[in-house]
Chains A and B, each alone.
Chain A
Amino acid sequence: MTYLVSLFLLGLIFGLVAVASNPAPYFAALGLVIAAGAGCGVLVGHGGSFLSLVLFLIYLGGMLVVFAYSAALAAEPFPETWGDRSVLVYVLFYILGVMVVVGWFWGGWHEACWVAIDELKELVVLRGDVSGVALMYSSGGGLLMLCAWVLLLTLFVVLELTRGLNRGTVRAI
């Protein structure tokens, strides 16, 4: 499990490096998908399997739509990626940055953050994240309603921003 979680963490880092360094939306969105998948794997390693499943389904559902749209909008015949020198410089720079940060924090409070710390790894009826969801529907009801309200607000914001043709924000001038 420890090896698996460290593999996921590596995937997360490299996925984010791919997002930050790739100029072509194909590969950047691919990096984002890899980062999201690896992040969900890390969550599973830390005992949030239900949370991870929800995140994977919903986040990647949205991400695939974004990926499809951005790939359709910015179709390049020869997209540059890690093999090309201009991008490779960025990749090496970001990896160097990650190493500097790792060296900075080495031996501090997250010495053992990749060890699987599932405090509920025994067979129990209520896992941490599932009981959290139950709590959200009982004592966190007010906040849940607030979140629903914000989603409604987001709907209006998006509709207002993307509304029709000559009245809208996104249009050709």
Chain B
Amino acid sequence: MSPYVFTLLIFNLGLGTTMTFASSHWLLAWMGLEINTLAIIPLMTRQHHPRAVEATTKYFLTQATAAALILFASTSNAWLTGEWAINQMSHPLATSTIMLALALKLGLAPVHFWMPEVIQGLDLTTGLVLSTWQKLAPFALLLQVSSTVNPLILTLIGLLSTLIGGWGGLNQTQLRKILAYSSIAHLGWMVLIIQFSPPLATLSLLIYIIMTTSAFLTFKLTSSTTMNALATSWTKSPMMTSLATLILLSLAGLPPLTGFMPKWLILQELVKQDLPMLAFFAAMTALLSLYFYLRLCYTVALTSSPNTITMLTPWRLNPTQTSPLNPLTTMLTLALLPLTPAILALVIY
């Protein structure tokens, strides 16, 4: 791909998200989403691999369907109530349809099926863009409509996403699919809390983006896309591989690591809202996710698989070049938890 075209596409990827962020009108928000989808498509097929093309086709079809649903719901809302503003929707038909469309865009549970398939077909960098940057625009819309959506729909989608995200990842051996299911589960937590505390949902998204960035970049560093490759990845970069264990545990949400913060605050907020059973079920579904993260940890660093002696030395001979983003996000993934009071004071309250 020509660097000029690449720059144009990256620029438009930013433009689409920025437009959706900046708009208070449904038509402009929809245009931003469409620009975003259009710009990512050639980036996804950059490798021209049949798997990538297949994944791109699936992605395009789902995103186009979701965008058409958003357009349909917002025009029928404008027809019924004469209101184009995003946060002023009032008709239940429009809000429910928009919620389902945004769930399809984000890959939330009842309509999540495209997500693992698409991520699996792409290389790790594009998968990273897809599971971080591409979530931002739909999430901004979700934040604005969440107060008008039926709370039952939000709760059901959220709980189902955490459940499916944990359940679907159980038997996977492909890292990209596991990361996709992890994305589904994390977004489920955000949707669960978004009706009670939108800033908390935003904070969860931010922390999820940091954590998944370090996971994707670490896997990219050792070029591992399956659990088998992960088992010998320590030979390429022993330090990052031992940190990968902690990154995965942070994604799982274990206490001394950053990933614990959103789960902790969300559970606290749910209990404060007098919904202890919901908090209980959400925590139980997190156990399902914990299982496959632990399985990955076991493969990465808690066991050393047998190998020939020449295979044990690549880290001495060819030093791996890490992305400059990786150390930053890894540190944030591992050590942000002590900042919880400050973040609470700045963001939530």
Which residues of A come within 8 Å of B, CB atoms? 109, 143, 146-147, 150, 153-154, 156-157, 160-161, 167-171, 173
Chain B, residue nearest A167 (CB): B48
CA distance A80 to B8 in the complex (A): 44
In this complex, the member of A109, A143, A156, A168 whose beta carbon has the largest number of chain B beta carbons within 10 angstroms is A156
CB distance from A72 to the nearest CB of B (A): 21
> Knowing A146-B31, A160-B5, A161-B45 touch, does A153 contact B50 (C-beta < 8 A)?
no
Q: Which residues of A contact B9 (CB under 8 A)?
A: 153, 156-157, 160
CA distance A169 to B38 in the complex (A): 15
Q: Is the CB of A161 within 8 A of B41?
A: yes
Q: Is the CB of B12 within 8 A of A160?
A: no
Contact of A169 among B12, B39, B53, B80 (CB under 8 A): B53
* B interface: dominant SS: helix
CA distance A147 to B27 in the complex (A): 12
Chain A, residue nearest B46 (CB): A160
> Knowing A156-B9, A169-B53 touch, does A150 contact B42 (C-beta < 8 A)?
no
Q: Which residues of A contact B35 (CB under 8 A)?
A: 150, 153
Q: Is the CB of A169 within 8 A of B5?
A: no
The contact sample of 28 A-B pairs, CB cut-off 8 A, is A109-B80, A146-B31, A150-B31, A150-B34, A150-B35, A153-B8, A153-B9, A153-B12, A153-B35, A154-B38, A156-B5, A156-B8, A156-B42, A157-B9, A157-B38, A157-B39, A157-B41, A157-B42, A160-B5, A160-B42, A161-B45, A167-B48, A169-B45, A169-B48, A169-B53, A169-B56, A170-B53, A173-B50
CA distance A153 to B12 in the complex (A): 8
Q: Within residues 27 to 61 of chain B, which ones have a CB less than 8 A from any CB in chain A?
A: 28, 31, 34-35, 38-39, 41-42, 45, 48, 50, 53, 56
CB distance from B78 to the nearest CB of A (A): 13
Which residues of B come within 8 Å of A, CB atoms? 1, 5, 8-9, 12, 28, 31, 34-35, 38-39, 41-42, 45, 48, 50, 53, 56, 80
CB distance from A122 to the nearest CB of B (A): 23
Contact of B1 among A109, A143, A160, A171 (CB under 8 A): A160
Task: Knowing that A153-B8, A169-B56 touch, tell me 9 more A-B residue pairs with CB under 8 angstroms.
Answer: A109-B80, A150-B35, A153-B12, A153-B35, A157-B42, A160-B42, A161-B42, A168-B48, A169-B45
CA distance A109 to B91 in the complex (A): 11
Chain B, residue nearest A152 (CB): B8
* A interface: dominant SS: helix
CB distance from A142 to the nearest CB of B (A): 10
Q: Which residues of B contact A168 (CB under 8 A)?
A: 48
Q: Is the CB of A150 within 8 A of B38?
A: yes
Q: Which residues of B contact A147 (CB under 8 A)?
A: 31
Q: Which residues of A contact B31 (CB under 8 A)?
A: 146-147, 150
Q: Which residues of A contact B53 (CB under 8 A)?
A: 169-170
Q: Which residues of A contact B38 (CB under 8 A)?
A: 150, 153-154, 157
Q: Which residues of A contact B39 (CB under 8 A)?
A: 153, 157
Chain B, residue nearest A154 (CB): B38
In this complex, the member of A147, A161, A169 whose beta carbon has the largest number of chain B beta carbons within 10 angstroms is A169
Q: Which residues of B contact A153 (CB under 8 A)?
A: 8-9, 12, 35, 38-39
Chain B, residue nearest A173 (CB): B50
CA distance A154 to B45 in the complex (A): 15
CA distance A172 to B90 in the complex (A): 50
CB distance from B89 to the nearest CB of A (A): 15
CA distance A150 to B56 in the complex (A): 20
CA distance A168 to B12 in the complex (A): 22
Chain A, residue nearest B48 (CB): A169
Q: Which residues of B contact A154 (CB under 8 A)?
A: 38
CA distance A143 to B42 in the complex (A): 24
> What 7 A-B pairs have minimum CB-CB distances, sorted nearest first?
A160-B42, A169-B45, A153-B12, A169-B53, A157-B42, A157-B38, A173-B50
